[in-house]
Amino acid sequence: MIRIESGKDIVIIRFPYNPDYIAKIKAVKGYRWHPDGKYWSIPYSELGNLLSAFNDSRIEVGPSVWLYELEKELIARKYSRRTVKLYLHYNEEFLKFSGKIPYQISNV
């Protein structure tokens, strides 16, 4: 199982040792191994490449990963920190409830 989490301006990837997974993650631009925390990281801009590299594997993506873009947009629009935190909280709860990723949710 591959777990993808949100870090401070990076995507954190954790998985048990597997040479195939390591080869796939090394194909993603900007990868980095963190021996102290025993995890890999990539920039958010490479998330799509990571997901396409691991498309045949079981991946568990945390809701906070999908909300990174929303957070940056709210900050750019000068929303207060409390408002940003509240928006992120309720969007994360909604994603957990629906069990979907943001791109699978529609008004129909």
- Band of the pLDDT at 107, cuts 50, 70, 90? confident
> Over the stretch 25-51, which tens digit does the pLDDT of each residue have?
999 999 999 999 999 999 988 988 898
CA–CA gap between residue 93 and residue 91 (Å, rounded): 5
For position 28, what pLDDT does the model report? 93
Q: Can you give the residue ranges of every domain in the chain?
A: 2-61, 65-104
For position 69, what pLDDT does the model report? 83
pTM for this structure?
0.76
For position 59, what pLDDT does the model report? 85
Between 11 and 55, residue with greater pLDDT:
11
Answer yes or no: is pLDDT of 72 > 80.
yes
- Residues in a beta bridge with 14: 3
